[in-house]
Amino acid sequence: MNYRKNNPNGGRLLVRAVAVTVAAGMVLTGCTSNRPKATANSGSTAAAAAGTTGASAPGKKVRIMFSGPVADHGFLAAINRFAKEQAAKYPDVTFTALEAAPDAPSQIAAVQTAIAEKPDALIIFPQDGDQLTGVGKAATAAGIPVINLDRRFNDQSAYRMFLAGDNYKVGFNAGNYIGQKLKGKSDAVIGEITGIATLALTRERSEGFKDALAIHGLKVTRQVNASFTVQSGQAAMANLLAAAPKLDAVFNHDDDQNIGSEAAAAQANRKEFFIVGTAASNTMLKHIKNGDARIEADVTFTPAIAATAVSMARLIAQGRSSDDLAGLPLPSNMLIDSELVTKENVAQYEKFGWD
């Protein structure tokens, strides 16, 4: 049985965090024994003195290092910004962002250097999860807790925690919205502009999209690939429009791509279709709010997950957890729910927007 197809809310991961309120400064309480008791309880005196309690209170001082790809588009730049801003909120965290990596080999080399410095926790947003798995395993073997952010390693032994948005739900919510809008139109022509085709997250989004459309008796007619940039989105949309003289709807896997896609559609004077985007950028949220473009809806996949990664890394390094977990350790897998944004609810998502 394909559990995901029968339960689009997922089932492979242990914990789903609803929305991303944690990203704005998650307040957790309690502690468990991920580390020795003396470590887990450290900071209690400082907490009392400061008049704060729980995991938001200062604890053992820890060093967290972060490695990610070069920010060649807005989403990755926002990932870096959210991580740095969250770390700055904690007086007990020393945060070091490694030099951004232009490719997987250079990121591997950077992480190997970081391992030698023995940080208390390491956050890795991999250029490619498969290629970075080995160095994730090396860090874990060295006793460094690894938070694998967004692009999953292919071996669970390579991380202490995997943290990401729900990519299957991204596609499923987009497909369900399009299916409801095109209800009864069995001959609908539906396009899909994916992200980098080799990434697991791209395959998960496409799978969710396909499954949701099937519920409505629809299917993807044309699929083209892009690479999460404005330029690639524009080229992909131009190719899609050339191949499809008529379109009813398009699902775009990324909002940076969406900027280019919308430009290509406007240049071609194609007005017959609407677009559902991904990641809730400020540009797309504004389009949805004002109704001034073909962007009708978007699905959340916020870069604020990087802030949550910092919060999780800090607690893991300090041996702390949450009262919400009834004394259990922090989870090894966490998905942040992906939610549909329309004109009716766009205001509540504006605080997570990015440029």
Q: What is the pLDDT of residues 130-181, one digit of tens each?
A: 999 999 999 999 999 999 999 999 999 999 999 999 999 999 999 999 999 9
Q: What are phi and psi of 308, to 5 degrees?
A: -60, -40
Residue that the structure tokens 């990087």 belong to? 306
* Count of beta carbons in the 10 Å neighbourhood of residue 203: 15
Q: What is the tens place of the pLDDT at every residue in 61-104?
A: 999 999 998 888 888 999 999 999 999 999 999 999 998 889 99
Between CA 322 and CA 254 the distance in angstroms is: 33
- The pLDDT, as a whole number, for residue 53 is 53
- The pLDDT, as a whole number, for residue 100 is 87
Output the pTM of the full model: 0.79
- The pLDDT, as a whole number, for residue 147 is 98
Alpha helix ranges (H) inside the chain: 3-6, 37-40, 44-50, 74-87, 104-116, 129-141, 167-181, 200-215, 230-243, 255-267, 282-290, 305-318
The low-confidence residues of the chain, meaning pLDDT below 50, are 1-52
Percent of the chain with pLDDT over 70: 85
Between CA 201 and CA 70 the distance in angstroms is: 18
Closest-CA residue to 320 (of 120, 92, 32): 32
